[in-house]
Amino acid sequence: MRLLPIQMCRPGMQLAKKIYSDEGVVLLSENVELSARLINRLSECGVHFVYIQDPRLADLVIPDLISEETRQRALSEIRTNFRDLMDRPNRKSGVTYPYIAKSFKQIMGMVIDDLTGQKDAMIMLMNMGIVDDYLFQHSLNVAVYTTLLGIANGYSKDELMTLGLGAMLHDIGKTQISPNILKKQGSLTIDEYEEMKRHAERGYYLLKDEPNIPLIAAHCAYQHHERLDGSGYPRGIKGDQIHEYAKWIGLVDSYDAMTTTRIYRRPMLPHEAVESLYAGTGTLYEQRMLQLFRDKVAIYPLGITVKLHTGELGVVVDINSSCPHRPVVRVLNNENGEQLNAPYELDLSTQLTTMIVGVNDDPHLPEASGT
């Protein structure tokens, strides 16, 4: 299988992975043959990438970071609890919902168990479905990615639970923001943007009185938009005034927002998002955190088509965990775009003079067979 931008899909190609709605319902299964109508419909629904079958890559297996059971359960709990809070706007301080702590601790336990069993797991794209409500999938993505970073940073299981809860609930304050603002198509007015920014403070007040939610998790909701140089919000705190967990969450929150389909723009590819984040080294984000983050992100995801400096085209088939920005590429087409009779693999971690110069940006992409 390989990962293909929806605009480069052609009728007759077959899906290699399921496509879900944000309710967790399977909309299209593996082996479904794409038609022009389906391709157009997926594009209209904000699906920018799909996994397509390709006999030249039949041996390529793209693992999921968390199990299907964990993903479905997590999205269900996030959706149910967040929608319940959306139905209770302007919740007063001191009112608690004990079931929130119980349900979110259970699903975070499942996420932690899934991730701790994967020694070399990398941050992979998780947004391969139709996302009608960005908040739910985003909350899960941030929790998964941040927990993976916490494991790499050597946190204990208890620390991972607190970090993960803070990550999964970092945007809970958005349940108290008007849906007209949350889902507005187009730019927010100044007043609307100021209202949106209040979600951080509202999230803190939603969580701080929950007896079974660590207070640190509430501060993660409060601080995840604060930045190292004091340019963030809501309080403009900086440096060591920001809790370490909130710094991790703020970094991952930005990354997932960049790589997720939004109403107003296409998603960035991982290497584009990482480059953008690196521009904030030492001002917005800590250098050591960015370095660890970069080391754990598959900036060239498995299955993606890349162009080498030689003009050859290939697909990423393996990621070197010690050097993720230098993947293994299976070369499928020569510099003229002609398919090779005998594809071969290049390990860029050892072939140091070979460079990736393009991603999914060449008109002579390798053709994918529907069989």
What is the per-residue pLDDT across 154-165, written as a single tens digit (0 to 9) for each? 999 999 999 999
Q: Residues 141, 227: one domain?
A: yes
Residue 267 has pLDDT above 60, yes or no: yes
The domain containing residue 42 runs over which residues? 2-62+302-359
Model's pTM, two decimal places?
0.89
In the structure, what pLDDT confidence band is assigned to residue 370 with cuts at 50, 70 and 90?
very low
In the structure, what pLDDT confidence band is assigned to residue 211 with cuts at 50, 70 and 90?
confident
Q: Residues 72, 57: one domain?
A: no
Last residue within a domain, chosen from 256, 275, 296: 296
Whether residue 370 is contained in a domain is answered as no
> Tell me, what's the pLDDT at 364?
44
Determine whether 254 is exposed, middle or buried from the number of CB atoms within 10 Å of its CB (0-12, 13-18, 19+).
buried
**What CATH number is associated with residue 239?**
1.10.3210.10
Q: Residues 171, 269: one domain?
A: yes
- Region 83-111 average pLDDT: 79
Q: Residues 178, 201: one domain?
A: yes
Tokens 């088509």 locate to 305
- Region 199-220 average pLDDT: 94
Among 141-145, 147-151, 238-242, 297-301, which is the least confidently predicted range?
297-301
By the 8 A CB rule, do 144 and 65 touch? yes
Whether residue 367 is contained in a domain is answered as no
